[in-house]
Amino acid sequence: MQRVDWQRISLLVILAIAAWLRFYQLSSSDVISDEALIAFRSVGYVDYLAAPNQPTTWERFDGPVPVWAYLSFHDHPPLAFAVQWLSFKFFGVNAFALRLPFALAGVASVYLIYLLVRKLFHDQAAFLAALLVAASTPTVWISRLGLQESLLIFFSLLAVYWYRRALDNHRFLPAVGLTLGLGLLTKYTVLAVAVPLFIHFFIYRRDYLRLRTFWLGGAVFLLCALPLLIYNLMLYRLTGHFDLQLSYLFGQLPPEWQLLPGKMQIGTWPERVAAYWGNLSQIFSPPLLALVLLSLAAFAVLWFSSGAPEASYTLLGLLTVSWGGMLLVIGPATRFLAPLAVWLLMITAVVVTALRTPFKPLRYLLGLFGAGMLAYELLFAVQTSLAARPAGMPGLAYSAILRSDVEHWGYQQLDRYLVGVLAGTRPALQPEVRHAFLKPLQERAEVKAQARGDQPTSLLIIYDANLYNLGALWTLHRRLVYDGWPVVTADQFLNQGENTWRQRGVKEFLFVHLGGDVLGEPTEDRTDSAAKLATQLQGRGVPLGAVPSPRVGGVAFNVYRWGEGVL
């Protein structure tokens, strides 16, 4: 009789859990976090944000964009943009395609965790580490967002795995250089992984320095970094400073990049320490947080109490200290804490599986406690990242700090509404653009629309300027830049008057008005133009439509349509 391979079955179950948590209704949440800033540019691989406080490199050119400016972006390396661009090409411009590569990277990372921990320690720790990473709230959350960190985690784990293989066989060193290089092309913070690997290397295998494979690995890494080197050298030649991240690191402080909310939120050293604990304490469920902290303390004792620390403990310890220490410098934002959570969960798995007791009742009791804790964390993750309307108290039932980036206010429903309204049509009137590089985008969209047989429509889209800026960027400005639809705020519409727009050839109007208790701009930044326009339209008897809010349970946006051809 053939023996059942329970290890393989267990691993497949863990991967199935990871896949379900990352792919179930992946496109349901709103695009309202920094993923909007990445995705907006990835649609056409264009470094443009329409943000007055953060002009991009491309906006400096009146004519064609030089080739070197395509090698990176003004604020991030290019790989995540390129991967997302490919996803849009294959699956269309939508929230599913936006997040697909990062969800896939999240599932692959669970498998890599299993391989890495098994190589570093043993099977039991590998299975538990994979299960924790598959089901924990921060790792599920980051995998369901179109942010670079999910790809960064994947390349980091792959680099560490190949490095561990290289400790036994130097022929894997070029693979280490390649994966670290790909990590660098994803985000500069991969250096928090590269540095501990080099330290560990010089402690345990500096004899490899004389080998050709070591230098080949270094050459592969430099080859991957070459686009960033060329881009920054050319940018420095043009402007006198490097890209946004490097210029901040080197204290260059370019005048055009002075108002950067992400950098301003870093705060002073005491504020960073306070924010560190404040954020870290909110990303796990309370039971798992307690277990992680206890495991971290136990791991430190095991690591430092040994006269000759074991190489695997040293490697995992260095990786955790390096990433955790880096967050004190760049700030402990939640998206940066997600990779740290991976190392912490690996430590937790190693410590928990190291516990031994000869008493069966105690083993069963600990097993039941562990199963209950995992069930709690699983429900906590579902409430945080998957549920449209989470139930229970924030902090106990779900993570409010993570939930804010994956909410269901109704912006995704607005996007789907616009897909339906604009289906089978193309803009008869295209807006004027300020930058030459935007015109070809609209021309290509026009050619594709004509090839599909879409009918020209003289439509003007008007929106409430009180909509949350990132939600408006993805839902509305994307259609202006890439599809050529005229899009203006209610303030702009009222200032010029409806007759002016009609004289320009506009025959149909669509107005999106923020309604209900839905995420919008801060109160101090709001205007009353949209409310005035809505009052005027109601007085004229213009038909009112509604876009629902899954989170609020009522109306997210009121939509008014009028003009020729509107029923």
The shares of helix, strand and coil residues in the chain, as percent rounded to the nearest 5, are 65, 5, 30
Position 520 scores a pLDDT of 93
Position 362 scores a pLDDT of 65
Cα dihedral: 260, 263, 266, 267 (round 10) = -60
Q: Which pTM does this prediction carry?
A: 0.95
Q: How far apart are alpha carbons 116 and 315 in whole angstroms? A: 11
| pLDDT tens, position by position, 308-348 | 557 899 999 999 999 999 999 998 999 999 999 999 999 99
H/E stretch holding 460:
strand 459-463
Position 153 scores a pLDDT of 98
Position 516 scores a pLDDT of 79
| pLDDT tens, position by position, 235-250 | 999 999 999 999 988 8
DSSP designation for 60: G
Residues lower than pLDDT 70 in the chain: 1-4, 259-267, 306-309, 356-363, 565-567
Position 480 scores a pLDDT of 95
